[in-house]
Amino acid sequence: MIMAKRLSAASKLITGLGGEQVRWTADMVTFKEDKIKLTGDCLSASAFLSYCGPFNYVMRQKMLIDDWKNDLVKREIPNKAEFKLD
């Protein structure tokens, strides 16, 4: 009786996790893309933390998005386009 319950629970678990394979496969594609863009993203984040502290939102937006992100694109350094300050 106990073994039947365990086998039933294991079967339900395996069935439930089988549906996760689709999501995991999609996540792997996203992770590969993110890995390529990691250098530019880390550069943007570290520049923001190092230089933007004393400035207001408008100036931070100008520095990060208008100046630094455009420079990354010009230098062909991969980075995510959707970096947000919010």
Mean pLDDT calculated for residue range 58-85: 87
pLDDT, tens digit, 9 for 90 and up, residues 28-47 = 888 998 999 999 999 988 99
Written as six digits, the tokens of 16 are: 């439930």
> Within 10 A of 80 (CB to CB), how many other CB atoms are there?
14
pTM, full prediction: 0.64
| Positive/negative CA dihedral, 21, 22, 28, 30 | negative
Tell me the two tokens of residue 12: 């339900």
**What number is the average pLDDT over the span 44-73?**
89
